[in-house]
Each structure stands twice: as structure tokens, then as C-alpha cells.
Amino acid sequence: MIPVTATPHKPGDPARVLFFADAGPAVGGGHVMRCLTLAGALARRGAICAFVATPAAGRILEVFAGAAVERVAATGDSAEALAAAAARWSAQAMVVDHYGFECGHEARLREMIRPLLVMDDLRRRHDCDLVLDSNLGRTAADYPGIRTLTGPGFALVRPAFAGLRDAALARRALGQAPQRILISLGLTDVGAVTARVALALLPDLGDRVLDVVLGAGAPSLVHLRPLSSRDARVKLHVNAQDMPDLTAGADIAIGAGGSSVWERCCLGLPALTVVLADNQRPNAQALEAAGAALVLEANTADFDDQLRAAVARLTADAALRQATSEAAASLCDGLGAERVADRLLGLVATS
């Protein structure tokens, strides 16, 4: 094999880390967002980061990173195409967050560039140097023979969340009546679930406010834009850049079961976690078992009724809200990205 590094790296040069993350209507934008979080932690340590982006991932990068993150062109998404892109960019390490990139792809890529970090939450087989799986209850035994970073202590949460943690937890401990409900069910809004949730809550909303977060291409917007223009209680946040503040300011959340659960946990936000895909179910169930969230299945026939009942329960029961807040906050301190960055750069330094 041709070595991946096109230009020799001199001692003291910044580490160069290339990311490849999936995105799209079926998988959402969470893969790209958590890679951006890790890239930020690496950059704070002096590393240089770039992305090989599919068109869907590129659109998310354009909104949430703009020109701050370099894109590296590739001729495809095969191991060979990624290795060639890495060679042109003189990468020293790669991070892959893509369910379609499997063990055989990893083995071929790893022959050409190491270290290789793979993000997962499905307990798949891997051929890499480091696996990151932040799901609750995951251990090294789930990935035998590979270095692992497992559990929510390694959840990739942006530093702005950790910065608001103490104030948010102190406010929640006051037990004030809920006034703001955050609805955040993914940028891609699978099946227009965001509008369904908002419309289901309106009859019993009273004077509370719904902060509704979704992407610019979300199918729910056709329903929610007219609604928000006539109902001041419905506040739309399209391609929201202020999620830490929105999460800290909310009293209850209705959120998807992807990586954003750790943002809510970091800030102790009592939440209803909605399972939108099969891969979200194990972690959501573990959170519920730990008392850190209530869980709803989006595809159940009586989802709307269950949703209204769960929100009513959380709204009325201050003790439940506080217990849920404390359990959630105990799981994630928001510093996982810093820990992952240190481990990855340690591998780069010794490779």
C-alpha cells in the first residue's frame, strides 16, 4: 500500500485529523454535529481538522460551521477514496461516524491511515484503533479486542452546555412551575414528527411556551410557520445556533433519542425521549431505567395520548421533575469531548 501521508510531519507540527460523517433524511444530522463537537475539542488542543462531506453532510456543515471547517474532496465513499483524500490532505488520523462504513471498509482504510477512530452505538464489529460508544451501559466487553471509550462520560457535548450546567441545575432545584417546553426531534424532522408533537400539546398548553427546534428543510415547517404566526406561544427556531441557551432555559423537553440526549442530561433537563429509530431504543430504555428520562415510541398507535399524559405528569409533579433532573445530570458532565480528544491525540503522538 502507498503510505497515506503525502507530506512528512515534523515534530511539533499540529496534528491533522480528517472526519467522515453520514447525514440525510434517514439518519439525521447528529453524526455530523457530534463530529463537529469533537473537531472543536481537537482544535482547542492545536489540531487541524477537516471533513470529507457527502452533499447532505455538507449542508449541515454550511449551516453550523460555515467556512470555519475545511472540506476535503473525495471521489467516493470507499475506503480507497477516503484514503486518497487523506493522503492529499496529509491527514495523520481519521474519524468515521457512518453506519454504512463497516468492518471490512475499516480494515482497508486502516491499512493506509492510522489511528482510526470509529463512532458507534450499535455494537457492530470493527477493525479500528479506537471505538467511541457513549450509550449508557456500554463497556469494553461490547467491543472485544479493541480500545474503547464507552459510556456517557465520553458523550460529545459542546463546551457551551457544560458552561451553563451549574446555573441550570441550581434553577431546576427551585422547583418552579414549568413555563417553557423544548421540542427538539432532529434537524431532518423524520415523518414531520415535530408538527405532530406541537399540535398534540396545544389544547392543554395553557400559557406555557413551546420552543420548537428544527432544520430549514423540515417537513413540519409547512404546518408550523402559519401556526407560530397566529399563536405567540409557539416559537420556531430554525437551524438554531443557540441550543445551549434554549436547553438551559427550558423546563421540560421532548427530544429525539439520538446524541442530543446528552445535552439535555448535562443540563439536568427533565425530558420525554422519543424513539424515532430502532438504534435509539437501547439507550433510551437505559435512560428510563436510570430514572433520567421518560420514553415514548413514536410509532405507537396512541402516541399522541401517551405524549399528552406524560407531559401532564411532568408538569404537575415537581418531585418527579427534580428526581429526573438529578438522575440525568449525574450521567453526563458535558466534558466527554475533551476526554476523547485527549485519547485520540495520544494515539496520534505514539503512532
- 25 pLDDT band (50/70/90 cuts)? confident
What integer best gives the mean pLDDT of the chain? 94
For residue 41, the model assigns a pLDDT of: 97
The domain in which residue 253 lies consists of 159-331
225 located within any domain: yes
Q: Is 9 inside a domain boundary?
A: no
Shared domain for 105 and 116, answered yes or no, is: yes
What pLDDT sits at residue 54?
87
Least confident span in 7-16, 155-164, 243-252, 323-332 = 7-16
198 and 123, same structural domain?
no
Same domain, 189 and 327: yes
Confidence of residue 9 (pLDDT cuts 50, 70, 90): low
- Give the rounded percent of residues in the chain with a pLDDT score beyond 90: 88
- Is it the case that residue 1 has pLDDT exceeding 50? no
Give the model confidence (pLDDT) of 185-214 as tens digits.
999 899 999 999 999 999 999 999 999 999
Question: Backbone dihedral region of 189: left (phi > 0), alpha (psi from -120 to 50 degrees) or beta?
Answer: left
Q: How confident is the model at residue 2 (pLDDT cuts 50, 70, 90)?
A: very low
**107 with 29, same domain?**
yes
pLDDT score of 27: 82
3-state helix, strand, coil in the chain (%, to 5): 45, 20, 35
| Local confidence band at 12 (pLDDT 50, 70, 90 cut-offs) | confident
Task: Tell whether 60 and 152 lie within a shared domain.
Answer: yes
* CA 102, 332, 285, 239 torsion-angle sign: negative
Instruction: For residue 65, give the CATH number of its domain.
Output: 3.40.50.11190
Q: What is the DSSP string of 195-246?
A: HHHHHHHGGG-TT-EEEEEE-TT-TTHHHHHHHHHH-TTEEEEET-S-HHHH
DSSP code per residue over 249-317:
H-SEEEEESSTTHHHHHHTT--EEEEE-SGGGHHHHHHHHHTTS-EEEETTSTTHHHHHHHHHHHHHH-
3-state secondary structure of 248: helix
The domain that holds 263 is classified in CATH as: 3.40.50.2000
pLDDT of residue 10: 66
Q: What would the pLDDT profile of 210-239 be if each residue is shown by its tens digit?
A: 999 999 999 999 999 999 999 999 999 999
pLDDT at position 124 over 60: yes
Asked whether residue 7 is assigned to any structural domain, the reply reads no
pTM (2 decimals)? 0.94
In the prediction, which pLDDT does 3 show? 44
In the chain, the number of structural domains is: 2
The reply to whether 138 falls in a domain is: yes
Query: Is 146 contained in some domain?
Result: yes
Q: Rounded to an integer, what distance in angstroms lies between the CA atom of residue 192 and that of residue 297?
A: 15
Check whether residue 144 and residue 238 sit in a common domain: no
Instruction: For residues 312 and 165, state if they share a domain.
Output: yes
Considering the domain architecture, whether residues 195 and 246 belong to the same structural domain is answered as yes
Residue 3 forms part of a structural domain? no
59, 93: one domain: yes
Residues 95 and 223 in one domain: no
**Percent of the chain topping pLDDT 70:** 97
Q: Are 47 and 30 found together in one domain?
A: yes
Residue 299 in any domain: the answer is: yes
Same domain for 249 and 327, yes or no, is: yes
Q: Tell me the pLDDT band of 131, cut-offs 50, 70 and 90.
A: very high
In a domain, 36, yes or no: yes
| Helix (H), strand (E) at residue 83 | helix 79-89
